[in-house]
Amino acid sequence: MKRALLFVATMIAAAAVWTLIAPAVAVTQPLSFNHAKHTAALTCVGCHSGVISGAKATLPPGIVCAKCHASAPASVSAATWKVVMDTAGPPPWVPATRLPEHVRFSHRRHVALGGLACESCHGDIGTRTAPPTRTPIRLEMKTCLSCHQKEGASEDCAGCHR
Protein backbone atom coordinates (compact mmCIF):
# COMPACT_ATOMS: atom_id res chain seq x y z
CA MET A 1 0.00 0.00 0.00
CA LYS A 2 2.80 2.41 0.90
CA ARG A 3 4.51 1.62 -2.40
CA ALA A 4 1.33 2.40 -4.36
CA LEU A 5 0.86 5.70 -2.50
CA LEU A 6 4.49 6.62 -3.11
CA PHE A 7 4.05 5.85 -6.81
CA VAL A 8 0.90 7.99 -7.05
CA ALA A 9 2.56 10.86 -5.16
CA THR A 10 5.57 10.68 -7.46
CA MET A 11 3.36 10.75 -10.55
CA ILE A 12 1.40 13.72 -9.25
CA ALA A 13 4.61 15.58 -8.40
CA ALA A 14 6.12 14.81 -11.82
CA ALA A 15 2.94 15.96 -13.58
CA ALA A 16 2.84 19.16 -11.51
CA VAL A 17 6.47 20.00 -12.25
CA TRP A 18 6.00 19.23 -15.95
CA THR A 19 2.81 21.30 -16.13
CA LEU A 20 4.29 24.29 -14.32
CA ILE A 21 7.79 24.37 -15.81
CA ALA A 22 7.58 22.95 -19.34
CA PRO A 23 5.45 25.71 -20.90
CA ALA A 24 7.79 28.43 -19.67
CA VAL A 25 10.89 26.92 -21.23
CA ALA A 26 11.54 28.13 -24.75
CA VAL A 27 14.22 26.43 -26.81
CA THR A 28 16.59 28.00 -29.30
CA GLN A 29 17.20 26.02 -32.46
CA PRO A 30 20.75 25.90 -33.84
CA LEU A 31 19.53 26.21 -37.44
CA SER A 32 16.63 27.84 -39.20
CA PHE A 33 14.22 25.63 -41.10
CA ASN A 34 11.27 26.69 -43.23
CA HIS A 35 8.59 23.97 -43.11
CA ALA A 36 6.30 26.03 -45.35
CA LYS A 37 8.73 25.92 -48.28
CA HIS A 38 9.31 22.20 -47.85
CA THR A 39 5.68 21.12 -47.44
CA ALA A 40 4.91 22.60 -50.84
CA ALA A 41 6.84 19.69 -52.40
CA LEU A 42 7.02 17.10 -49.60
CA THR A 43 4.76 15.39 -47.10
CA CYS A 44 5.69 15.06 -43.45
CA VAL A 45 6.66 11.40 -43.91
CA GLY A 46 8.92 12.36 -46.82
CA CYS A 47 11.43 13.58 -44.25
CA HIS A 48 10.16 12.09 -40.98
CA SER A 49 10.17 8.43 -41.94
CA GLY A 50 9.57 6.94 -38.49
CA VAL A 51 6.07 8.39 -38.36
CA ILE A 52 4.58 5.43 -40.21
CA SER A 53 6.78 2.60 -39.04
CA GLY A 54 8.01 3.40 -35.54
CA ALA A 55 7.28 4.75 -32.12
CA LYS A 56 9.33 7.87 -32.78
CA ALA A 57 9.24 10.22 -35.73
CA THR A 58 12.74 10.49 -37.10
CA LEU A 59 14.53 13.66 -38.06
CA PRO A 60 16.30 13.36 -41.40
CA PRO A 61 20.07 13.33 -41.72
CA GLY A 62 21.74 15.76 -44.15
CA ILE A 63 21.89 13.10 -46.86
CA VAL A 64 18.09 13.32 -47.14
CA CYS A 65 18.38 17.08 -47.70
CA ALA A 66 21.05 16.46 -50.35
CA LYS A 67 18.61 14.37 -52.41
CA CYS A 68 16.84 17.60 -53.37
CA HIS A 69 19.54 20.17 -52.69
CA ALA A 70 22.76 19.64 -54.65
CA SER A 71 24.18 22.70 -52.91
CA ALA A 72 23.07 25.03 -50.16
CA PRO A 73 19.72 26.69 -50.87
CA ALA A 74 19.94 30.49 -51.31
CA SER A 75 18.29 31.01 -47.91
CA VAL A 76 20.92 28.94 -46.07
CA SER A 77 24.43 30.14 -45.29
CA ALA A 78 27.42 28.03 -46.29
CA ALA A 79 28.23 27.51 -42.61
CA THR A 80 24.72 26.26 -41.85
CA TRP A 81 24.76 23.96 -44.88
CA LYS A 82 28.11 22.54 -43.73
CA VAL A 83 26.59 21.70 -40.31
CA VAL A 84 23.64 19.98 -42.01
CA MET A 85 25.82 17.96 -44.38
CA ASP A 86 28.61 17.11 -41.93
CA THR A 87 26.30 15.70 -39.29
CA ALA A 88 25.96 11.91 -39.60
CA GLY A 89 22.51 11.97 -38.03
CA PRO A 90 19.96 14.74 -38.10
CA PRO A 91 21.06 18.32 -37.55
CA PRO A 92 21.33 19.13 -33.83
CA TRP A 93 17.70 20.19 -33.26
CA VAL A 94 16.54 20.88 -29.73
CA PRO A 95 13.21 19.13 -29.01
CA ALA A 96 10.40 21.63 -28.48
CA THR A 97 7.90 18.91 -27.56
CA ARG A 98 8.65 16.66 -24.62
CA LEU A 99 6.52 14.06 -22.93
CA PRO A 100 7.06 13.06 -19.31
CA GLU A 101 9.17 9.93 -18.83
CA HIS A 102 6.17 7.97 -17.56
CA VAL A 103 4.22 8.47 -20.82
CA ARG A 104 4.46 6.08 -23.76
CA PHE A 105 3.64 7.45 -27.20
CA SER A 106 3.85 5.76 -30.58
CA HIS A 107 3.66 7.77 -33.79
CA ARG A 108 2.86 4.55 -35.69
CA ARG A 109 -0.16 3.81 -33.47
CA HIS A 110 -1.52 7.33 -33.81
CA VAL A 111 -0.72 8.07 -37.47
CA ALA A 112 -0.58 4.78 -39.37
CA LEU A 113 -3.15 2.86 -37.32
CA GLY A 114 -5.25 5.70 -35.87
CA GLY A 115 -5.27 7.81 -39.02
CA LEU A 116 -4.47 11.08 -37.23
CA ALA A 117 -2.99 13.94 -39.20
CA CYS A 118 0.33 15.35 -38.02
CA GLU A 119 -1.46 18.66 -37.32
CA SER A 120 -3.52 16.96 -34.60
CA CYS A 121 -0.54 17.21 -32.24
CA HIS A 122 1.93 19.44 -34.08
CA GLY A 123 -0.47 22.25 -34.99
CA ASP A 124 0.25 24.33 -38.06
CA ILE A 125 3.89 23.18 -38.29
CA GLY A 126 3.62 22.83 -42.08
CA THR A 127 2.98 26.57 -42.48
CA ARG A 128 5.79 27.71 -40.20
CA THR A 129 8.74 29.58 -41.65
CA ALA A 130 10.94 28.99 -38.59
CA PRO A 131 11.33 26.06 -36.20
CA PRO A 132 9.09 26.18 -33.13
CA THR A 133 10.60 27.40 -29.89
CA ARG A 134 7.78 25.87 -27.84
CA THR A 135 5.49 22.92 -28.29
CA PRO A 136 2.82 23.96 -30.82
CA ILE A 137 0.00 22.24 -28.92
CA ARG A 138 0.17 21.70 -25.18
CA LEU A 139 0.37 17.95 -24.75
CA GLU A 140 -1.11 17.18 -21.38
CA MET A 141 -3.36 14.41 -20.13
CA LYS A 142 -6.61 16.29 -20.73
CA THR A 143 -5.58 17.01 -24.33
CA CYS A 144 -4.83 13.35 -24.97
CA LEU A 145 -7.94 12.10 -23.15
CA SER A 146 -10.27 14.42 -25.05
CA CYS A 147 -8.84 13.13 -28.33
CA HIS A 148 -9.09 9.50 -27.19
CA GLN A 149 -12.73 10.11 -26.25
CA LYS A 150 -13.50 11.86 -29.54
CA GLU A 151 -11.84 9.10 -31.59
CA GLY A 152 -13.19 6.22 -29.48
CA ALA A 153 -9.66 5.11 -28.52
CA SER A 154 -8.80 3.28 -25.32
CA GLU A 155 -8.69 5.28 -22.10
CA ASP A 156 -6.97 2.49 -20.19
CA CYS A 157 -4.20 4.09 -18.10
CA ALA A 158 -1.74 1.24 -18.80
CA GLY A 159 -1.99 1.91 -22.53
CA CYS A 160 -0.13 5.21 -22.21
CA HIS A 161 1.49 5.18 -18.78
CA ARG A 162 4.46 3.07 -17.68
- The domain of 63 spans 35-160
Tell whether 16 is covered by a domain.
no
Nearest Cα residue to 19 out of 92, 93, 103: 103
Distance CA 146, CA 151 (A): 9
Tell whether 12 is covered by a domain.
no
Give per-residue pLDDT as tens, 80-132.
Answer: 888 888 878 888 888 888 788 899 999 999 999 999 999 888 888 899 998 88
pLDDT band at 5 (very low <50, low <70, confident <90, very high): low
What's the domain count of the chain? Answer: 1
Tell whether 17 is covered by a domain.
no
How high does pLDDT run on average in the chain? 82
Tell whether 19 is covered by a domain.
no
> The whole model's pTM is what?
0.72
Average the pLDDT over 135-152 and give the result.
89
pLDDT reported for residue 150: 92
Tell whether 103 is covered by a domain.
yes
